[in-house]
Amino acid sequence: MDMSDDHDHDGEADGHHEPERETFSHDPVGHAEVRAGMTVGELADEYGEAGVGAADLHEAVDVTESMFDDDVTVFFGLAGAMVPTGMRAIVADLIRDGYIDVLVTTGANLTHDSIEAIGGKHHHGAVHAEGKTEREHDETLRDEGVDRIYNVYLPQEFFADFESHLREEVFPVLEAECEEEGAVSIQRLTEELGRANAEINEREDVDEDAGIAAAAYENDVPIYCPAVQDSVLGLQAWMYSQTGAFTLDALADMTPLTDIAFEAEEAGAFVVGGGVPKNFTLQTMLVSPDAYDYAVQLTMDPKQTGGLSGATLDEARSWGKLEKDADNVSVYADATITLPLVVAAARERLEN
């Protein structure tokens, strides 16, 4: 009997036939290798061998490297407790070295940035104290005049110093402008805050760097703070406005911010955390003929709630906030871990 017809020439009979796979390519997962003395950039490359969050972080470095090109206008959104947790110098250095063109942040981050600029410090603390519940621990901190941000402490007297700084160095200048113009923009407030922070920092020979607002002021990078009222900075501004001409125009920033988006040849969004800074950064493109060409977000918020803080950047594409062919990636992890890694690796590639 002739058995030759039982053997198909495409290899099905010997088990080697592979089905058509539209979404599959031969790209096997490797195994990250680490060694003593390797650079952050080399570590990020090893992340690219792996899967899940490691692969996302590796991709974030790639997109950030492209975004930090000289021809790309970078909008940087900074939410969360990034200043009190020690991320302040990373952002200030990015501004000074020309990697950030627009900063969108919270009044809280500007408050904590200013406190350090004028001589205050945040301190390592604890979530729990031995022999006490977390509530009892926080009640003790309340009695001792110490504010807690997870495992970071801030003595309350630094807020009093900040109030004096605003009332003596920042608000009077703006009040004089309001008497002439009727109101000032929030961006004008952040600009004057940066000037005062830089001046006091140098005059008082403060050990700590002058920080984010000062770097932005000295390098003509605008800071937008659309929810400034939601902070100690905003509370102090409101209280000062009760006794004089000082007031803020919440809509005044929209035109200059939109103009920057209109004039950008290419634009990139680097978003740390969610909330107002993320949305304010992304929505800028809703009134621009173009959208973001690059986007990276570092967040811990899940997308399944439908909230913007965890929403994917792919979802933002459906709104027209990102170009259809934009390079984008979301990294779901603690930004105090991912921000230093991504920035260090991208800068290593660009500067070495």
Q: What are the catalytic residues? A: 321
Is there a contact between 264 and 290 (Cβ–Cβ < 8 Å)? yes
- What is the DSSP pairing of strand 292-299 with strand 102-105? unpaired
Q: CB neighbours of 50 closer than 8 A, spacing ≥ 6?
A: 29, 30, 31, 32, 58
Mark out the alpha helices in the chain (DSSP H runs). Answer: 40-47, 52-67, 88-96, 107-117, 134-144, 157-165, 171-181, 186-203, 212-218, 232-241, 254-263, 275-283, 313-319, 335-351
Count other C-beta atoms under 10 Å from residue 24's C-beta.
9
Mark out the alpha helices in 134-231 (DSSP H runs). Answer: 134-144, 157-165, 171-181, 186-203, 212-218
Beta strands across the sheet bearing 152-155: 123-124, 152-155, 146-149
Is there a contact between 84 and 69 (Cβ–Cβ < 8 Å)? no
Count other C-beta atoms under 10 Å from residue 26's C-beta.
5
> DSSP states of 156-179 as a string?
THHHHHHHHHIIIIIHHHHHHHHH
The secondary structure of residue 5, as a DSSP letter, is G
Is there a contact between 229 and 107 (Cβ–Cβ < 8 Å)? yes
